[in-house]
Each structure stands twice: as structure tokens, then as C-alpha cells.
Amino acid sequence: MTNENKLLKQPKVSLIITFYNLCEYINDCVLSILNQTYQNFEIIIVDDNSNNENAEILKQFKNEKIKIIHLNENKGQLLAFYEGLAYAEGEFICMIDADDILLPNYLKTLLLAHLNNNFALISCGFGEINEKNEITSFSNNKTKKMIKYDEIENLFNKNDYFELVEVKAPFGLWSWNTSTSAMFRKSALDILKFYPDKAYWKTGADKVIFSLLHLIGGSANISSINYLYRHHNKNNSQTSLCTGNKKFLGENYVNKIIAWNKKIRIDTLKMFLNNKNELIEKFNKINYFKMLYRVIFCINIKVCAKIIKTFAHKLICF
């Protein structure tokens, strides 16, 4: 190795696991991270004031790569993640759900995608598993394209080549997979310090983080399948366990999504107006007003049509 090459360092990745009373799954999650093919990482587990039984399970993790932070009160997903971020040493960050499992090339693939592109976040495909670790389905971000079937043993191991597609969705519209799917540039996450009312987001923190990073630095989806999303009776979205079809989201969750969409638009607008000078200094005046324009005029005709259709159905039902 030449002297020049000795000066080069591999990027470090910080994986932040926000943990709240999911002791039955956390061991599988941590083990899947420790078994990554790319090994320059750290794990930060933020215990969001779990009960004693759940907090006790974290004592088993004694590894130099693992930091455990215990919060004295339940702060919710976004604030717990933000607390963990203060301890992160990596140039890249992942927000991992404690019940998910990473496939061996998760870090290598997402990091490779980042280093070959300039996006604030990149989201990968996933497989779905149930409480017994049985594979139920998969999604590789190749929307409206034929999927080539292969041997099931190789289904999650073809990461050498993948398709990357830039996301060009309006602000606030969901265009990625779940929390665990994404790797962020840490420098982009600095925007969170300006975001008001982080305490509101007890769940759905990825809605805020993904939307803000997409706004300020762009995003992309890759087709490679790199983690396993677990369906169980504590999932936030509560899709139908028999199909996972988003058409069968519970009414309470649909109402929550509508509230989230309203909340994130109002809060982001407040963020831009209340921190104008700081954000202009950070992004320059032209980019500041471009982003502000995108937040104000983030209207999507298809989404509006779906909302109107939903309300129409409710009126008919009554």
C-alpha cells in the first residue's frame, strides 16, 4: 500500500436504533448489524424509557461497536433519534427499527450508492417477514416493471448490480420504503435542529426526516433488497397481515397520515420563516426561496383526488 492510500479512510456509518419495548426482536436486529460485510460502523441504541424488563435486555450487548443511551422519559421516535444523533461519529447515518433485520450487504450497498451519487438520502428495497422470521413478500423499488423470478435462496443476495432512480416527488409526499431502508448524509441531518415541535412525532419520524432531506438535498431509491421489515401486531401502519396491501390500512392510520401531511407542511413553513437568516446563510438566498416555494406549493393532484374520494366514500357510508 502506498503512503497516499494509507491516508485514506473508509467512511464510518452510525446506525441509530430507537428502542421502546421490543425486547423479543432487538437481538436479531443487532446481530444482523454485527454480521455486515462492511465493518466500519457503530451502533447507537437509544432506549426511549422502556419498562424494566425491556431495558434489562440491553445489558447483553457488550461490544466495542455498541453504545447504549437510556432516556429518563419517553420522548418518542423523532426526539429519541435526535438524541442518538448527538453521539454519532459517522459521516453516514441509518435509522433502524428495532424489529427489522439487515441483510449482510446492507451497509456496503447503500454506501456504494451514496459515494457514487450526491443525494441527502437513499432508500433500498426490502423483504417482509412475520413474527416467526418467515419471508412473506418483497419490494425492490422497481415500480411498474416486470420482476424476474429467481431461486428463493438467491432472492436477497443479488446486490452487485442495482437500479438507482432519483425521486422527484413534491414535498411531503411519501416516495420511499420504511425507516430502515435509508442511509442519510449526516451533514444533511443538521436541518433537524431547526425543525419545531419534534416532540409531536412519537411515531412517523421517518416522515419528517425523509421529507426534509429530500427537500434540501434530493433523494433516490435503489432496487437492491437489503433488509427485512417485520410485520407484527405492534406495527405503526397495521397493514393487513395477510397481504400487506396498503389499500387495507386501518381507518385510524389513514386519519393519522392525513394529520401528518398537514402537520409537516405547517411546521416546515414555520421552520423556514422563523429561521430565515440562518437558513439563507446555510443554503444561500436563491436556494432558500426555491425550497420555500416547494413547501408552499407542494400540491399533488393525485393525492388531492384520493383525499376527495376518501371523504366522498365516508359521506356515502353515512
pLDDT 10s digits, 158-169: 555 788 999 999
Domain annotation covers residue 173: yes
pLDDT above 70: residue 309 = no
Domain annotation covers residue 242: no
Global pTM?
0.85
| Higher pLDDT, residue 274 or 300 | 274
Distance (Å) of CA 28 to CA 70, 125, 218, 240: 20, 19, 32, 24
CATH number at residue 224: 3.90.550.10
Out of 173, 201, 234, a domain closes at 234
What DSSP string describes the chain?
Answer: --HHHHT--PPPEEEEEEESS-HHHHHHHHHHHHT-S---EEEEEEE-S--HHHHHHGGG---TTEEEEE-SS---HHHHHHHHHTT---SEEEEEETT-EE-TTHHHHHHHHHHTS--SEEEEEEEEE-TT--EEEEE-S-TTSPPPP--GGGTT---SS--EEE--PPTT---S--GGGEEEEGGGGGGGGG-S-GGG-SS-HHHHHHHHHHHHH-EEEEEEEEEEEEP-TT-SS---TTT--GGG--HHHHHHHHHHHHHHHHHHHHHHHHTHHHHHHHH-HHHHHHHHHHHHT---HHHHHHHHHHHHHHHHH-
pLDDT band at 200 (very low <50, low <70, confident <90, very high): very high
The answer to whether residues 176 and 182 touch, using CB atoms and an 8 Å cutoff, is yes
- Same domain, yes or no: 38 and 138: yes
Domain that holds residue 131: 3-234
The answer to whether residues 209 and 192 touch, using CB atoms and an 8 Å cutoff, is yes
| Count of domains observed in the chain | 2
- Residue 24 to residue 131: CA distance in whole angstroms: 9
- Same domain, yes or no: 67 and 153: yes
Domain annotation covers residue 241: no
Lowest pLDDT segment from 139-148, 191-200, 249-258: 139-148
- Same domain, yes or no: 313 and 210: no
Domain annotation covers residue 67: yes
- Residue 182 to residue 117: CA distance in whole angstroms: 14
pLDDT tens per residue across span 74-120: 999 999 999 999 999 999 999 999 999 999 999 999 999 999 999 99
Q: What is the pLDDT of residue 147?
A: 47
- Same domain, yes or no: 166 and 313: no
Q: What is the pLDDT of residue 312?
A: 65
Average pLDDT of the residues of the chain: 85
Domain annotation covers residue 8: yes
- Residue 294 to residue 215: CA distance in whole angstroms: 8
- Residue 284 to residue 282: CA distance in whole angstroms: 6
- Same domain, yes or no: 225 and 301: no
pLDDT tens per residue across span 270-290: 999 999 999 999 999 999 999
- Same domain, yes or no: 156 and 227: yes
Which residues are paired to 39 by β-bridges?
none
- Same domain, yes or no: 192 and 301: no
| Higher pLDDT, residue 316 or 196 | 196
pLDDT, average across residues 9-19? 95
- Same domain, yes or no: 148 and 281: no
The answer to whether residues 138 and 126 touch, using CB atoms and an 8 Å cutoff, is yes
Q: Which of 70, 65, 53 is nearest to 18 (CA)?
A: 70
Out of 219, 234, 249, a domain closes at 234
Per cent of the chain over pLDDT 70 is 78
The answer to whether residues 94 and 36 touch, using CB atoms and an 8 Å cutoff, is no
- Same domain, yes or no: 154 and 265: no
- Same domain, yes or no: 313 and 201: no
- Same domain, yes or no: 54 and 183: yes
Provide the residue count of the chain.
Answer: 318
- Same domain, yes or no: 185 and 265: no
| Higher pLDDT, residue 91 or 240 | 91
Dihedral angle of Cα 158, 112, 218, 139, to the nearest 10 degrees: 10
Domain annotation covers residue 243: no
Domain annotation covers residue 264: yes
The answer to whether residues 166 and 159 touch, using CB atoms and an 8 Å cutoff, is no
Domain annotation covers residue 252: no
Q: What is the pLDDT of residue 234?
A: 62
pLDDT tens per residue across span 248-273: 566 677 788 888 999 999 999 999 99
